[in-house]
Structure formats: structure tokens, C-alpha cells
A and B are shown apart, each in its own frame.
Chain A
Amino acid sequence: MTYIEKPSISNVVKFEDPDVAKVERLTVMLNTGTDIYQGACKKRGSTLKDEYRKVAGVCYMDPKDMAKLGVGNWESVLVKSDWGEVVCYAAHSRDAPHEGMIFIPKGPWANVVVSPETYCCSDPTYKGIEATVEKTDKEVLLMADLMRDVYKKYVKEGEKTEELPSLGEMPVYKKIARSK
């Protein structure tokens, strides 16, 4: 089968690099777009699974930027832009070097931080967005939990999404009892 646990990424982040000055928060340019792992997982339909958050909830960064923040592969980072904030995994980009630029594959995680502004051109601005990245202890949410947390469509008044139990990795719906 074509299933993967997570994308294979290289691990060459040098935390002790003398050229790298440590920072708390990094100002970067955010790009989004497709990626082969994201495409394969999304179109297979495995969007509720842990696999989807490992392929689409990932912030691909230059290893120097990762060293500046002190984050390693598969540690959480908080990405903030004018339109929202989202927790993603940090991962070494296979297209590096591109210092000062991060890439999040398109998907529910990237959607939170991209700009819906179309400038009357029908097309939102998915690329070239100013954002900041910082280290965080928060967990990356599964797709269903993220959709509930961000859009709160079926959350009752007064309920806190972070206190609700996770919706899990399988479809949840009430089935009709069938007698065979």
C-alpha cells in the first residue's frame, strides 16, 4: 500500500551553529501550495487520520531558521499572521536553503493563516504572506478537532473546544440500526 506514517525529511539542523543567533520569534514569508505527500493523503481521503496532520500540518523551514528558534523536526511551532494562528510541526525543508521563508502545504492548517483577500480577482492570496513563527508546547490538532476549534460551527454556547474530547480519526455519525 502507499500509506506512509509521515514524510521522510532530512535531519541536519545544527543547534550549535556559531553563525546563528537565537531568537524567540522569527518574521518570515509564508508560502502555501501542494506537496506530493499532502496530495496523496488528501485525495485518498485519509483526512481524519494522524497521517494527514503529519503531511499537511507541517511547517517546512530552512534548517538555519530552525536553529534560530531551537526547534527540531516534528516539534511544534506556532505560526501567526494577520488572519489567525495555528500550531504546526516544524520540519526540515527538502527545498532548502530558503532562509526567511516557510512553506505549509495547503490544507486546513494553512487555511487559518492565509489571506482571504482577493483584491477583486476571485483568487485569495495564498502565497507571500507575512507571518511569525515561534516555539510552542501545544499539540498539533487532528483535522476534525482543528475544524471544530477554528470554525466552531456545531459547538454549543459556553463550551470550550479545548476541553472537549477529541473527535478522533474515524468518521463519527449515528447509524440506523439495521436488522439482517
Chain B
Amino acid sequence: MARQVVADILLGLAVVTTLGASVGVLVMRDAYQKLHFVTPAAVVAPLLVALAIFVQMGLVENTGETFLALLFMVIAGPYLSHATIRAIRVRETGDWRLREGPGDGGRTAGGEKEQ
């Protein structure tokens, strides 16, 4: 009974996370901002789902395979996000570095912002 409750809570959190992330992908202004809402669906929600399956079934083959998929998504996800945001920037400006000049928004130094 307690197992089922914990599993249901984890599933609920995963669903809420994913639904919120989908709203974020829809309402955010540009591709840069939308990309930040892929990580909750690609890393956090699968972790919650894997934990729910683990709580429900314990350490069996199914759990192992689910954690294998989760492990891959957690390891590969950041690099996919890195490649994607770099590609977006290169397509827009030709270079991922922040360059000088008013036309490009200016280079920042020491952590100042470029909008």
C-alpha cells in the first residue's frame, strides 16, 4: 500500500514536470528559452518515472532496463542541449562566441549580461 502511494506520488510529480515543461516549450519567446524546458522532460521526469518503477517492482530486469535508458538520457542530454544551443547561435550569428560591436549585442566581460 505504501509502495503504491509513493509510486503514485512520483508518477504525479513526473507528469506535472512534463506538462509544465511542455507549456514552457510553447510559451517561451525564442528557441534559446524553449530549450531550457527540454531538460526537465529529458532528465528529471525520466528519473522520477524510473524511481516509480523501482518502488513498484523492486530491483528486477525491468527496473534495470529503465535505469539503463535513464542513465543514457542523463549522460547524453546535456551534450545534446549543448550541441543544440550552439547550433542555434551559429545559425543566428555565424559564431557561438560573444563578439564586440553594437550590431551583435556586444561582448560581455566578467559576467556582465548580453541580452
Bind each other: no
